[in-house]
Structure 1
């Protein structure tokens, strides 16, 4: 029998039989209509959504619904059973029934599911591809799913890179906030040992409530640290400028009042061993190399990562040591190792080593060991901080 090739319209067929699947099913979700995005694993995407949920306007229960929707995507390799990344060629329209979604969303009710789907649609993470009767079902051709009516996750995947970047920022802020909280606690304990006024005492009492809040931000923590430093400086250190030969002012802290308060001793009192010639151990010699104002300026210019937290150059050795110990806590360096390094190499070398660790903090598993190795081997620290005499001649 001879078959003449012709289209359905040439054969005077009904128009509904002649159009392709895109126009025959208006509003169906297909791969051709999906946006382009970088491949991402659904576990990574869900973790990012969970971390940035507050920024996206989501509650924990809505994140669970997103988990249920992502679990319905055809990403599992049939041979190995492992999850493959979601790509633009993955059909992103979920056509699972409400009963299935409720079961995968930790057993929430149908009413709760509908409410969370409305929330996800309001924040722009899903769209609905509704059929004429509101049912969800796939469109197949030759035994393969080519489209579906249901819940389209294209808006979520289109923003996947943005959400992952936002989540990484939130993780970085959380890590920084942990270090700032430790620094605040240390400074608060120091302030409690000082003789401060009533206003400062009330502020020190309020710090505990501020640190307990889950909404405390990095900016608030930095402001608290700045105020605590101001209290310590106003109460415990009287600084006086000393004029040098190159007309640069160096501030020398005077802590006599703090020492007197700490020991609670009158000037005329003498100890029980006064007048005796007792032999004492000679203290370990510490690093006492002086640094000129010009070399300090050059040093601070090189510490690009530390300057992000401490933009102002230290006014004195005491101020510089305070920065070393505070930044060491943020980097999780053992205080004993840090003190030993300062005594042997000086706070300038310790700051240079901390700057190196801060530049590679994401790849360093043990900052304490890395700090000790930098001081022992001198790696990246071969340039000494002694200024070149010829440059000042």
Structure 2
């Protein structure tokens, strides 16, 4: 939705509140120069900021400071005493002293307040309008406050619609995630009652820790749900059915021929040596090659988070490629970024970087940008003998 920025004067502000101020007061925030925005309730705006704080890169203490700033806006209805919507005719410049803001921000210190104000200005939610001596004070015209030096909340109000729409989307995603977690718990309990392989059982057990994390995303939950469905409808059930059929046939044979000797499996055919034990000699180099373990396969156990989703190490290039892109999608990394990482670091180098990102997924706001930075950092390292990350698969 496009917003057209106009001044409060063209929006219908009172003439006595928008008189041209002397040049000595240039740089302050005034009602006359405030852009137009749709009116919003202070409580709704605060709820939206609290919901999208992680998207904005704000800590809880910074959100409390925003709440303190919004509480200083003069948007009380004089007749009823209730909160009125914040409109372009509301002075958006807060001129309260630091002591007042610290008190309303749950008793934080003055130093903490300055640090959080700097952070809010950095993310583009406030604008400082300092006077010549650094003090905050209002400007009166006709007994009314029409301007002030202080902390301007205009950038926050201009983004009100955007923040509220994002907050609504985050709430819908949270509701969907709760539903997915419930389905996963049900399927997980059903999987634990089945006779699964060791790898499948390890994956089912690991899903419990993944679901407990606060930073679990919808993509991760959907991937877990899909793999659990595959376990329930895949090969294990067919094997159970085959074993049941073989056991049923064996029981039927025993009932039909109770005195018959048990039928043994056909012995393996002997080789050309006719059972003789012939000692063959092999070159020493070839035997050394066979007993050497694959160093890449050994590293799979070091990838704790990745191996929780994929307990079985890839055995060919196709499986390695599939796992690299699927795990990258779960971490919200673009396919083009993953392709760049593979061309720079190789498949195993890319997986190791993805593992480091998965360990701190809760704290990383932009995984794709973080991954690109990690690629640049690792590619600039001087790689010599004994390198940890190979350049290619």
TM-score normalised according to structure 2 size: 0.56
Aligned counterparts of 1:58 and 1:256: Cα–Cα separation in 2: 55
Partners of 1:259 and 1:209 in 2: CA distance: 34
Q: Mapping of 1:8-157 within 5 angstroms?
A: 20-21=20-21, 23-157=23-157
CA deviation string 1:306-352 (max 9, x = no partner): xxxxxxxxxxxxxxxxxxxxxxxxxxxxxxxxxxxxxxxxxxxxxxx
Tell me how large the CA RMSD over aligned residues is: 2.4
Cα deviation 1:258-288 (Å, max 9, x = unaligned): 989xxx999749xxxxxxxxxxxxxxxxxxx
User: Structure 2 CA distance, aligned partners of 1:231 and 1:95?
Assistant: 62
Note if contact 2:95-2:138 (Cα within 8 Å) is conserved in structure 1.
yes
Q: 1:140-195 deviations in whole A, cap 9, x for unaligned?
A: 01111110000000000000000001111111011000000000011111111112
Aligned equivalents of 1:87, 1:265: Cα separation in 2: 79
Q: Distance in 1 between matches of 2:60 and 2:33?
A: 30
Q: How does 1:190-339 map to 2 (within 5 A)?
A: 190-238=190-238, 256=241, 268=251
Distance 1:256 1:47 in 2: 54
8 Å Cα contact 1:29/1:93 also seen in 2: yes
TM-aligned CA distance change 1:258 to 1:204, over 3 Å: farther
Cα distance in 2 between the residues matched to 1:176 and 1:21 = 53
Q: Report how far residue 232 of structure 1 moved.
A: 1.2
How far residue 202 of structure 1 moved from its aligned partner, in angstroms, is 1.1
CA contact (8 A) 2:196 2:236 kept: no
**1:381 paired residue number:** none
Distance 1:265 1:174, change over 3 A: farther
- Shift of the alpha carbon at 1:23? 2.5
- Describe the SS at the equivalent of 1:111: helix
| SS of aligned partner of 2:149 | strand
Q: What are the residue-to-residue correspondences of 1:379-390 with 2, within 5 Å?
A: none
Task: List 4+ stretches of structure 1 deviating above 2 A.
Answer: 235-238, 254-260, 264-269
TM-score (norm 1): 0.56
Aligned length: 234
Gaps in structure 1 of 5+ consecutive residues: 1-18, 239-253, 270-393
Q: Equivalents in 1 of 2:243, 2:34: separation in Å?
A: 68
Mapped to 1, the partners of 2:244 and 2:172 lie a distance apart of 39
Aligned to 2:168, the other structure's residue is in SS state helix
Distance in 2 between the 1:201 and 1:56 partners?
39
Distance in 2 (alpha carbons) for counterparts of 1:139 and 1:27: 12
Structure-2 change in CA distance of 1:258 and 1:22 (3 Å): farther
Distance 2:35 2:208 in 1: 48
**SS of residue in 1 equivalent to 2:128:** strand
